[in-house]
Chain A
Amino acid sequence: MEYVPNILFAIALIVGVGFFTRNVKKLSRNIKLGKDVDVSDNKPQRWKNMARIALGQTKMVVRPVAGIMHIFVYVGFIIINLEVLEIILDGLFGTHRLFSSLGSVYNFLIGSFEILAFLVIVAVVVFWIRRNIIRLQRFIKPEMKGWPKKDGNLILYIEFVLMTLFLTMNAADSQLQQMGAEHYVQAGSFPISQFLTPLMSGMSESGLMMVERTAWWLHILGILAFLNYLYYSKHLHILLAFPNTYFGKVKPKGQLDNLQSVTNEVKLMMDPNTDPFAAPATTDAVAVPEKFGASDVMDLNWVQLMNAYTCTECGRCTSECPANQTGKKLSPRKIMMDTRDRLEEVGKNMDANKGEFKSDGKQLLDDYISREELWACTTCNACVQACPVSIDPLSIIVEMRRYLVMEQSAAPMELNNMMSNIENNGAPWPYNQMDRLNWVNE
């Protein structure tokens, strides 16, 4: 009987980590549905970006209030995980405060965990107020209705509860230590939870042990549950922010890629040695791609799909977007959310069809992202600049415009005029190329 808790804990840990692994596999499979893209260039800059933007939170503090609060939660999350390591080992081996032999270092650590836990609670409360009382513009945009709003609040509730459980556990523990209860070694310092102990005064030793054990179990089970909630939530950014900033754009923001498939065709067209009447080559040395641009998630590259899973729906992109600020339908955040939703739909379709995607008559274009949104973009890069985790919504917009123009000839009429002007006289306006130098003498 003695080992029942250990066994139960081991089972919980295996189930929790097992489900998480399954979700990670699914995530990785879905991301790999994207096209290959070469991101092997400029490694030093990539590591630097990850260190500065993800680890160093440099983009977060551009908006100081949210930025500093976010650092509390972020540092709290990372540091308090040291404590989770002890909790897991204690759970498996039936020990209590396994690391307490570290002495004063241990006391310092527990003390700082408590302070961080308190700061996390403060930040979470401020975040909740910003979302629900102040109702900041960017949190109440149309794309935030329903699940995204609920998701945002749920994360805050879970974090609040986990931190409260952690502090409650410590409060009961310190009481038990003072009573000299068996098994409860004298260890740790409790700068925050000491304020909770008065609530427990007069409780019996067994009552306190009940509180301590309950808080301990709920805390670790909560963490395991939260780990598995990530896949279904915008909160995935806590993991993906790191690879996403590494694989983010290292070229100048203004540089769009040149489609290689187009280059091949244009070179062929411009080569005077090409025989226009030659039979098409039987070998597919210059394989014509299935389509130009993107109408669905599989046409995007895997970094763009990872972008979609990384998005935490903070809406900084949308709040900086000139189209959105002037009442147009375009919201860069919605572009990312739609991409993820569609990708999830494709993933579920594959799960239901033994790993094969069966056409469902839907696509990212029109069923999720409308043409009106795509044509409202000024390609100004404000969204890309604003994103704290290096997401590039603009690249998806351009890829979808490419599909509309090159596959469907579905550009707005004025743009078709502009393009035929360029074709005919080398300028977006209908002027004669012979007049190009007239400005000198005007």
Chain B
Amino acid sequence: MGEQLRVKTMQEFMAEGKQPEILFWVGSAGSYDDRAKKISRAFVKLLNKANVDFAVLGQEESSTGDVAKRAGNEFLFQMQAMMNIELLNGYEIKRIVTCDPHSFNTLKNEYPGLGGTYDVLHHTQYLKELLDQGRLTLQGETYKGKRITFHDPCYLGRANAVYEAPREILAKTNANLVEMKRHKTTALCCGAGGAQMFKEPEKGDMDINVLRTKDALETNPNIIATGCPYCNTMMTDGIKAHEKEDSVTVLDVAELLANSI
């Protein structure tokens, strides 16, 4: 058990008759997946440090339905979406921040058509805002000179054209940022999107995550940074496939920042 985090639910805010600055949408991975839970914790550590008055939905949160939609189950997606929207609108939520680009994409782009319109940010965008406003400052020693390469998550990059926010805040750690040959618009997928995370891949001659980690390893990095819990899993597995887990680590941008305050 790490240090004590300060996390309040929307219910608690309601009981106090207050509204939070932002709602942190934790997402299913961030809630249950052992690796992704650490990312949620790192992000909250930063929110606590910056004294952000934020809420989570806690036990009231449910899957955005994104993965069901990508798998073709529009019914299940819309059921989930409308349930969540009813909850979010009931709480009069205005601003949502999430560490999961898939939740980010569906909340931002696909919920408005079903009656749920919010200002939705990826956590890298929100962290950039906190740093720009001076609410959060980094000491810039931990990763000084370390070679870090950023893997663009498809649903942050190509899907929503967010390329700069994660790079700008990574630069503030004083790390040596190196780009893979394919990055930004041409970044290769980690292999988890479109519900692939939950099934075995079709027959082929290689796994996509192994190919993508090969791209990353070509930059000779100390750290592969990501901004997505699924990319994180895929890249971590890829590193193992290349037997590089001793020399290269995969970390979320939030974790890199949390280690730099």
Main secondary structure of the interface of A (DSSP, over half): helix
Partner of B1, one of A292, A320, A441: A441
* B59 x A379 contact (CB < 8 A): no
Task: Report the minimum CB–CB distance from A303 to chain B (whole Å).
Answer: 18
| 8 A Cβ contacts from A390-440 to B | 398, 400-406, 411-412, 414-415, 417-419, 422-423, 426-429, 431, 433-440
**Complex interface: stretch among B62-70, B133-141, B246-254:** B62-70
Give CA–CA (A372, B204) in the complex, Å: 11
Q: Name B138-179 residues within 8 Å CB distance of A.
A: 154-155, 158-161
Assess whether B41 is in contact with A326, with CB atoms less than 8 Å apart.
no
Whether A270 lies near B82 (C-beta < 8 A) is yes
Separation of A414 and B83 alpha carbons in the complex (Å): 24
CB pair A436 B59 closer than 8 Å: yes
Task: Given A254-B159, A439-B41, verify A322-B71 contact (CB < 8 Å).
Answer: no
Q: Which residues from chain B contact A343 at a C-beta distance below 8 Å?
A: none
Is B15 interfacial (CB-CB < 8 Å)?
no
User: Known interface pairs A267-B82, A378-B196. Does A426 touch B73 (Cβ–Cβ under 8 Å)?
Assistant: no
Q: What 0/1 readout, one digit per residue, does chain B (179-210) give for beta carbons within 8 Å of chain A? A: 00000011011011111111111111111100
Determine if A419 and B70 form an interchain contact, defined as CB atoms under 8 angstroms apart: no
A250 at interface (Cβ–Cβ under 8 A)?
no
Interface centre among B37, B69, B71, B200 (most CB of A within 10 A): B71
> Is A437 a contact partner of B59 (Cβ separation < 8 A)?
yes
When distances are taken between beta carbons in the complex, the residues of chain A under 8 Å from B185 are 385
Bound-state Cα–Cα, A355 to B114, Å: 39
B202 contacts A328, CB within 8 Å?
yes
Q: Is B211 an interface residue (CB 8 A)?
A: yes
Q: Are A379 and B194 in touch, CB under 8 angstroms? A: yes
Q: Find out whether the CB atom of A326 lies under 8 angstroms from the CB atom of B211.
A: yes
A152 at the interface (CB under 8 A from B): no
B105: chain A residues at CB < 8 Å are 252, 254-255
Complex CA distance for A372 and B59, rounded to whole angstroms = 37
Option from A382, A422, A441 in Cβ contact (under 8 Å) with B76: A422
Give the chain A neighbours of B44 by CB distance below 8 A. 440
Chain A nearest CB: distance from B174 CB in Å? 29
The answer on a CB contact under 8 Å between A252 and B78 is no
A406–B73 contact, CB under 8 A? yes
* Minimal beta-carbon separation of B92 from chain A (angstroms): 20
- The docked-state distance in angstroms from the alpha carbon of A428 to that of B192 is 14
Complex contact A427–B59 (CB within 8 A): no
Q: A282 on the interface (CB 8 Å rule)? A: no
Q: Would you call A418 and B204 a contact (CB within 8 A)?
A: no
Asked if residues A263 and B202 are in contact (CB atoms below 8 Å), the reply is no
Which residues in window 1-55 of B have CB below 8 A to A? 1-2, 5, 7, 9, 26, 28, 30-33, 37, 40-41, 44
- Nearest CB of chain B from residue A428's CB, rounded to whole Å: 6
Q: How many Å from the CB of A394 to the closest CB on chain B?
A: 9
Establish whether residues A322 and B191, one from each chain, have CB atoms under 8 Å apart when the complex forms. Answer: yes
Give the residues in chain B near A422, CB-CB below 8 Å.
63, 65, 67-68, 76, 80
Asked if A320 contacts B186 (CB within 8 A), the reply is: yes
Chain B contacts for A376, CB-based, 8 A: 201-202, 204
Number of interface residues of B (CB under 8 A): 73
Selected contact of A323 from candidates B2, B32, B113, B202, CB within 8 Å: B202
Question: Are A398's CB and B75's CB within 8 A?
Answer: no
CB-CB < 8 A to A269: which residues of B?
79
Contact (Cβ within 8 A) B76 A380: no
Residues of A within 8 A of B109 (CB): 251-252, 254-255
The verdict on B74 contacting chain A, using a C-beta distance below 8 Å, is: yes
What's the nearest-Cβ distance from chain A to residue B182, in Å?
A: 9
Whether, in the assembled complex, A293 has its beta carbon less than 8 Å from a beta carbon of chain B, the answer is: yes
Chain A residue with the shortest CB-CB distance to B158: A381
Given A252-B160, A262-B78, A411 and B71 touching (CB < 8 A)? yes
Check B189–A292 contact: CB distance below 8 A.
no
Minimum CB distance partner of A375 in chain B: B202
| Contact assessment for A258 and B113 in the assembled complex, using a CB-CB cutoff below 8 Å | yes
Which of the residues B72, B188, B207 comes within 8 Å of A411, measured between beta carbons?
B72
A67 to chain B, nearest CB (A): 15
Q: Is B110 positioned at the interface, with any CB of A under 8 Å from its CB?
A: yes
B7 pairs with A419, CB closer than 8 A: no
Is there contact, CB below 8 Å, between B37 and A253?
no
Q: Contacts A262-B75, A322-B191 hold; do A439 and B30 have CB atoms under 8 A apart? A: yes
A interface, CB within 8 angstroms of B: 251-256, 258-259, 262-263, 265-267, 269-270, 292-293, 320, 322-323, 325-330, 372, 375-382, 384-385, 398, 400-406, 411-412, 414-415, 417-419, 422-423, 426-429, 431, 433-442
Query: Which 4 residue pairs of A and B lie closest in terms of their CB atoms, listed nearest first?
Result: A254-B159, A401-B72, A426-B62, A379-B194
Residues of B within 8 A of A (CB): 1-2, 5, 7, 9, 26, 28, 30-33, 37, 40-41, 44, 56, 58-59, 61-63, 65, 67-76, 78-80, 82-83, 105, 108-110, 113-114, 154-155, 158-161, 185-186, 188-189, 191-208, 211-212
Q: What are 28 A-B residue pairs whose CB atoms fall within 8 Å in the complex?
A: A252-B161, A253-B160, A254-B109, A254-B154, A255-B159, A256-B69, A256-B110, A293-B72, A320-B186, A326-B211, A327-B206, A372-B203, A378-B154, A379-B154, A379-B193, A380-B158, A381-B159, A382-B186, A401-B70, A405-B72, A411-B72, A412-B199, A414-B200, A419-B76, A433-B59, A433-B62, A434-B59, A442-B41
